[in-house]
Amino acid sequence: MRDITVFSGRANPMLAENICTFLREDCGLNVELGGCSLNTFPDGEFHCKIEDVRGKDVFLIQPTCPPVNDNIMELLIMMDTCRRASAERITVVCPYFGYARQDRKDEGRVPITAKLVANLITQAGADRVLTMDLHAPQIQGFFDVPVDHLYASHVLNKHFIKLGYESDDIVIVSPDEGSIKRSVGHKDRLGGALAIIDKRRNSATEVTAENLIGGPIEGRVAIMFDDMISTAGSICNAARSVKSFGAREIHVAATHGLFSGDAIAKLSKAPIDSVVVTDSIPLPEEKRIPKIKVLTISRLLGEAIRRIHNYQSISRIFNEDINQTDNQLF
């Protein structure tokens, strides 16, 4: 078996450290974070130098979160460095894929930037991509290399199971029509009722919640799941709507906590009891408020990396039989 080497860009080094700890302590692999010097020249250009990777199985951990363009360029440079240093295989571990919301032409004379970024990653030398909760699952088809698409739903569900709510005391609320399938999946795992917010988008930044379908909600614990929280406008409006229908508690969960603009201020004022996100994106200290809880996906990503390295099935991570005996991953 060829050696495994893990590198981290500057986007989320703590996640990379936690992944290496899992691979080392739980999987028995001799994995330390690889030596990688990343610098920015005075003119803004990036420079990268890495340790010897000739013939090695390389994993590059770099979510393309804000600053998106800098992190994408840094990732491309790291890939090119590894390819020119004769790495045997390069796997890009990108838990958050930037530009994922630009996945189609919704009007004339606009780009499909998600496809452009996928092309750049492929051409820079990626042999495989490992990502999580893409905004649109069909983005997997934008890549000309294999893509392993993970879901944080098991991590999020386990958090709410630990809170000990009775299934008939909760209602899973879909914040918009596009999240119905996701909400149904969480309902199947957590139980409870299902409700849907009928959302109206007035502009790129303004959303209003019009009606609520399903339920009942009054006196229950409402839990809303989404793939990401960006400006938090949609989720806060949905929370106010749910509160008006008599929800006793309101909890919000998302894989990617972007918290752009004044999102933290909106969440602080909204009738939301807790906001649960993962560490796919680092949460700066200035954005940490008491109602935000961060769950780690390092064990899940680490297990996927181990299986890719050993040419084992990724989908079996989510097999229920395995979960019953090995659910420490979640």
Rounded to whole angstroms, the Cα distance separating 179 from 252 reads 13
User: What is the per-residue pLDDT for 204?
Assistant: 56
Same fold, 4-152+298-329 and 153-295: yes
Residues contacting residue 9 through CB under 8 Å, at least 6 positions apart? 38, 60, 61, 62, 71, 74, 75, 78
Rounded to whole angstroms, the Cα distance separating 4 from 30 reads 8
User: What is the per-residue pLDDT for 198?
Assistant: 80
Q: Element (H or E) spanning 121, and its range? A: helix 113-124
Rounded to whole angstroms, the Cα distance separating 266 from 252 reads 13
User: What is the per-residue pLDDT for 36?
Assistant: 97
The pLDDT tens digits for 109-151 are 999 999 999 999 999 999 999 999 999 999 999 999 999 999 9
Active site residues: 199
Q: CATH number of the domain at 153-295, please?
A: 3.40.50.2020
The pLDDT tens digits for 286-322 are 999 999 999 999 999 999 999 999 999 999 998 754 4
User: What is the per-residue pLDDT for 210?
Assistant: 64
* Domain ranges for the chain: 4-152+298-329, 153-295
Decide: 80 and 125 in contact? Cβ < 8 Å.
yes
User: What is the per-residue pLDDT for 328?
Assistant: 62
Decide: 132 and 92 in contact? Cβ < 8 Å.
no
Fold of 4-152+298-329: Rossmann fold (3.40.50)
Using a cut of 0.95, tell me whether the model's pTM lies above it. Answer: no
Rounded to whole angstroms, the Cα distance separating 34 from 52 reads 9
Task: Report residues of the chain scoring pLDDT below 50.
Answer: 321-326
Which of 263, 256, 204 lies closest to 232 in space, CA to CA? 263
Decide: 31 and 80 in contact? Cβ < 8 Å.
no
Specify the amino acid at residue 131. T
227: left (phi over 0), alpha (psi -120 to 50) or beta: alpha
